[in-house]
Chains A and B, each alone.
Chain A
Amino acid sequence: MYNALKLESIRRELPGVSMTLGLVVFLTAVLFFLVWQIGLAHGSVVFLIPVVIAATRWGIVSAVVAAICGVLASAFFFYPPLYSFRIRDPQEVLDLVLFIFVAVTVSQLATRLKRQLEMARQREIDLRDLYAFSRRLAVAFDVSDIHAAIEDHLATIMQRNVVLFASAREASKSSGRRAGVTVPERVLTEAVEIASGHRDTAGGVTVTAEGGEIWLVRAVSAKSLEFGVIAINLGHETKERIDELRIRVDAVLADATATLERLGVAHAISEARMRSQTDQLREALIGSVSHELRTPLASILGAATVLSAAPALRQEKKLTALVHDVRDEAERLNNDIQNLLDATRISSDGIKPHAEWADPADIINSAVERCRHRLADRRLEVDLPRDLPLIHVDPVLVQQALVQIFDNAVKYSAPSSLITVAARAQDGRLTISVTDQGAGLTSAEKSKIWDRFARGERHAATTSGSGLGLWIAHAFIAANDGKVSAVSEGPGLGTTVAIELQVTQAAVPQLESDADE
């Protein structure tokens, strides 16, 4: 170990020393030439030049070598007796002392200067990173953005693998944001401990993992756990180097937390977390309540249909009517719950359409079929041209949107009035329109009908509903890259709701020939 270190240091000094020797030899040759040609008496002071150069450039070892070689060279070549190392003049001893003094002083000054330069450069890099960090924080959109920014910042500055755990829960799931970094079990346990606030360790703790790597685990900020807990892989290092790195980590984190505090990030994080928890809670509540309501509803509906067909009840007209009421009301309740579920689905995780090639006629027919019961006392006209192009959409979503539009048409029109469904293909678009002869729309209503929970105020007293239907239709069609619009001549003059979907024009004839093969 010691030998290895010595070898290492010799190797490091070698280039400087050899350059120095070269310099001395060159200078001696020049001096020798000058003494011989011009007859200079003493050239020994000139040997200060290699000493100073070596000291500033290559450090103390080279400088001392330069000093000794310089004195030896001048003793050999320039001081009598010539061509011998013997010394007669005490001046020469003084030269040696002077040379070595200059070598040591200059090289130390140079080293200090170099170190200061190095530190200034490092500081500049740190500041630049810190600036980039605060800029990134400024555009961070949510808590996970902020955490990712902290993590990236530390990883850049430390040049080490850094994993940030936003909370104890995240640490126990061992989900490091950074792909490819596996965090040892022991480090995870420690992170959980610190993140859950069970341990108060401002400076953090070091953990030696199975492979001998040393990890530093500590809270990002000593004051607040909101910023999370970081684990830094320090690698295989000596004790002194680890201490050095820890001091550096402290400095970097102090800068980072100062920035975070200045921007009020802690407050923002806790606020955002609370907001998203409230949202999640609400969605979960609606979801589970709806699900819990549907199960008994399935029993009610099923039992009602069994009753309505029971021979014992068939003779009893009034009782049969009652059973039908139970069934119809349960069906209506079921639709409302389905709407709530759809609304939760739209706002919680968005809709992921399963697009396939579909025949628009199939979609319209199946929507009509689904609404047959509700459309029973309206006159329905379906106008479908034979040559409708195929469309690439999620047919189920489009059908459900159409069902909502039918529902709305029925709700706001009189019994035995006409409802027309038509489909037209034009300019690369397919339009499905549903026209009723019902209540129509005022211009104020027109602007609001696609909003969530929008209800026509003129009809609020006489028609029931959650105001979700058209909002759901709009979301389902938008998920298929389509548009929904409503046109009305005015109150009492009926409404036309139109769905517009894209037709991939070029694809269709190509498909035709494909299928014929």
Chain B
Amino acid sequence: MLMSEPSPIVLVIDDEIQIRRFLRTGFELNGFVVHEAGTGAEALRSATLRPIDLVIVDLGLPDMDGAEVVERIRSWSSVPIIVLSVRSSEAQKVHLLELGADDYVVKPFGMAELLARVRVALRRQMRAVSGEPTVKAGPLTIDLAARAVLLNDKRLTLTPKEYRLLQVLAQHAGNVVTHQHLLKEVWGSIHVHDTHYLRIFVRKLRQKIEPHPDSPKILVTELGVGYRLVQSGNEGDAGSWSDTAPAKTET
């Protein structure tokens, strides 16, 4: 555990008791305090009664849609929210992110993957509270206050649009940012469907900031959803269930 602050409190909302149980164990082993809720109503009550640092919400709840829980919590709180979704629903993911969810994890997932997302969300929340102006992603440093971008401590020259794109991603560093949000922020709301603008600018930007633009590690694509600026320290654990897994062939 990197955090030296008091244990962060996470609210786990899922109607499957087995899922709640392994999430509780996984979080507690990593120094979190866990609250549980089995229904949307219980979750909303719990979220208003006690201070909470993070919310994990499953989309299929018995009493209300997970999206509604996200929307209602977001109406009065900026607490980070991570959604547990299923595959083949990119449009739904985009919708949830637009409602205010910070990130999503696709079921089934490994604990390491979820923890990586959780740490990113907590770090971002902390930065927002403390007003920390620099974002680091591998060899890249983005100083939001000075509007400067450094690669291996050398200042990069970016066009205004390239900088704006990087700035929006850095403001959400570690979290996925939807195509629509990026297009609206950089090109204006009339261009929210012109994904090709993004593709071309991301390509140019990667040539400048990625050590290997062919296999990007800093500005990564979330297919069908958006882009993510991967922060230093969690490139390795996000997206795979374990690095220590022995190689195994299917027999």
- Which positions in A face B, CB cutoff 8 Å? 294-303, 305-306, 308-311, 321, 324, 327-328, 330-332, 334, 338, 341-342, 345, 354, 356-359, 361-363, 365-366, 369, 372-373, 376-377, 382, 384, 386, 390, 394-396, 399, 410-411, 415, 462-464, 511-512, 514-515
Which residues on A sit within 8 Å (CB–CB) of B213?
386
Which residues on A sit within 8 Å (CB–CB) of B111?
302, 305-306, 309
Contact of B109 among A301, A356, A365 (CB under 8 A): A301
B232 within 8 A of A: no
20 A-B residue contacts at CB 8 Å? Answer: A298-B107, A305-B110, A309-B29, A309-B112, A310-B29, A324-B246, A324-B248, A327-B110, A328-B245, A354-B224, A356-B224, A359-B202, A376-B245, A377-B249, A394-B224, A396-B90, A396-B224, A399-B223, A514-B194, A515-B196
Contact B221 A365 (CB under 8 A): yes
CA distance A338 to B106 in the complex (A): 13
Which residues on B sit within 8 Å (CB–CB) of A394?
224
Interface bits B176-209 vs A (CB < 8 Å: 1, else 0): 0001000000000000001111011111000000
Contact B214 A464 (CB under 8 A): no
Which residues on A sit within 8 Å (CB–CB) of B86?
294
Interface 9-residue window, one of B16-24, B71-79, B118-126, B139-147: B16-24
CA distance A331 to B29 in the complex (A): 23
Interface bits B131-161 vs A (CB < 8 Å: 1, else 0): 0000000000000000000000000000000
B8 within 8 A of A: no
Contact of B18 among A296, A321, A377, A511 (CB under 8 A): A296
Contact of A463 among B202, B214, B250 (CB under 8 A): B250
CA distance A103 to B243 in the complex (A): 111
Which residues on B sit within 8 Å (CB–CB) of A377?
247, 249
| B:85-120 near A, CB below 8 Å | 86-88, 90-91, 107-112
Most A Cβ at <10 Å: residue of B18, B107, B213, B223: B223
CA distance A305 to B109 in the complex (A): 9
Which residues on A sit within 8 Å (CB–CB) of B201?
515
CA distance A310 to B249 in the complex (A): 25
B4 within 8 A of A: no
Contact B249 A415 (CB under 8 A): yes
B251 within 8 A of A: yes
Contact of A462 among B90, B214, B251 (CB under 8 A): B251
Contact A373 B110 (CB under 8 A): no
CA distance A415 to B18 in the complex (A): 36
Contact B199 A373 (CB under 8 A): no
Known: A334-B108, A394-B224, A515-B196. A306 touches B250 (CB 8 A): no
Interface 9-residue window, one of B36-44, B46-54, B61-69, B234-242: B234-242
Contact B199 A358 (CB under 8 A): yes
Known: A357-B195, A366-B221, A463-B250. A311 touches B29 (CB 8 A): yes
Which residues on A sit within 8 Å (CB–CB) of B223?
358, 362-363, 366, 395-396, 399
Known: A305-B242, A310-B29. A411 touches B250 (CB 8 A): yes
Which residues on A sit within 8 Å (CB–CB) of B211?
none
Which residues on B sit within 8 Å (CB–CB) of A342?
88
Contact B241 A327 (CB under 8 A): yes
Contact B214 A294 (CB under 8 A): no
Question: Closest approach, in angstroms, between the C-beta of A21 and any C-beta of chain B?
Answer: 78
For B222, the closest partner residue in chain A by CB is: A366
Contact B250 A332 (CB under 8 A): yes
Most B Cβ at <10 Å: residue of A299, A390, A511: A299
Contact A328 B248 (CB under 8 A): yes
Which residues on B sit within 8 Å (CB–CB) of A369?
239
CA distance A221 to B221 in the complex (A): 61
B25 within 8 A of A: yes
Contact B214 A384 (CB under 8 A): yes
Which residues on A sit within 8 Å (CB–CB) of B25?
303, 306
Contact of A515 among B179, B200, B224, B249 (CB under 8 A): B200
For B215, the closest partner residue in chain A by CB is: A365
Contact A294 B194 (CB under 8 A): no
CA distance A363 to B220 in the complex (A): 11
For A300, the closest partner residue in chain B by CB is: B108
Known: A305-B110, A311-B29. A365 touches B16 (CB 8 A): no
**For the complex of A and B, 3 pairs with smallest distance between CB atoms:** A357-B196, A305-B110, A299-B18
For A376, the closest partner residue in chain B by CB is: B247
Contact B26 A302 (CB under 8 A): yes
Contact B200 A373 (CB under 8 A): no
Contact A305 B112 (CB under 8 A): yes
Which residues on B sit within 8 Å (CB–CB) of A356?
179, 195, 224
Question: Closest approach, in angstroms, between the C-beta of A317 and any C-beta of chain B?
Answer: 11
Which residues on B sit within 8 Å (CB–CB) of A331?
108, 241
Question: Closest approach, in angstroms, between the C-beta of A365 and any C-beta of chain B?
Answer: 6
For A366, the closest partner residue in chain B by CB is: B223
For A374, the closest partner residue in chain B by CB is: B250
Contact of A361 among B87, B214, B250 (CB under 8 A): B214
Contact A511 B240 (CB under 8 A): no
Known: A361-B214, A395-B224, A512-B200. A294 touches B107 (CB 8 A): yes
Contact of B197 among A297, A395, A514 (CB under 8 A): A514
For A368, the closest partner residue in chain B by CB is: B215
Contact B215 A302 (CB under 8 A): no
Most A Cβ at <10 Å: residue of B87, B91, B202: B87
Contact A298 B221 (CB under 8 A): no
Which residues on B sit within 8 Å (CB–CB) of A410?
250
Contact A302 B22 (CB under 8 A): yes
Question: Closest approach, in angstroms, between the C-beta of B213 and any C-beta of chain A?
Answer: 8
Known: A359-B221, A372-B240, A394-B224. A365 touches B194 (CB 8 A): no
Contact A308 B197 (CB under 8 A): no
Which residues on B sit within 8 Å (CB–CB) of A363?
223
CA distance A394 to B225 in the complex (A): 11
Contact of A321 among B26, B202, B239, B246 (CB under 8 A): B246
Which residues on B sit within 8 Å (CB–CB) of A305?
26, 110-112, 241-242
For A369, the closest partner residue in chain B by CB is: B239
CA distance A359 to B197 in the complex (A): 11
Contact B19 A298 (CB under 8 A): yes
Question: Closest approach, in angstroms, between the C-beta of A138 and any C-beta of chain B?
Answer: 41
Question: Closest approach, in angstroms, between the C-beta of A361 and any C-beta of chain B?
Answer: 7
For A342, the closest partner residue in chain B by CB is: B88
CA distance A72 to B19 in the complex (A): 110
Contact of B22 among A295, A303, A384, A396 (CB under 8 A): A303
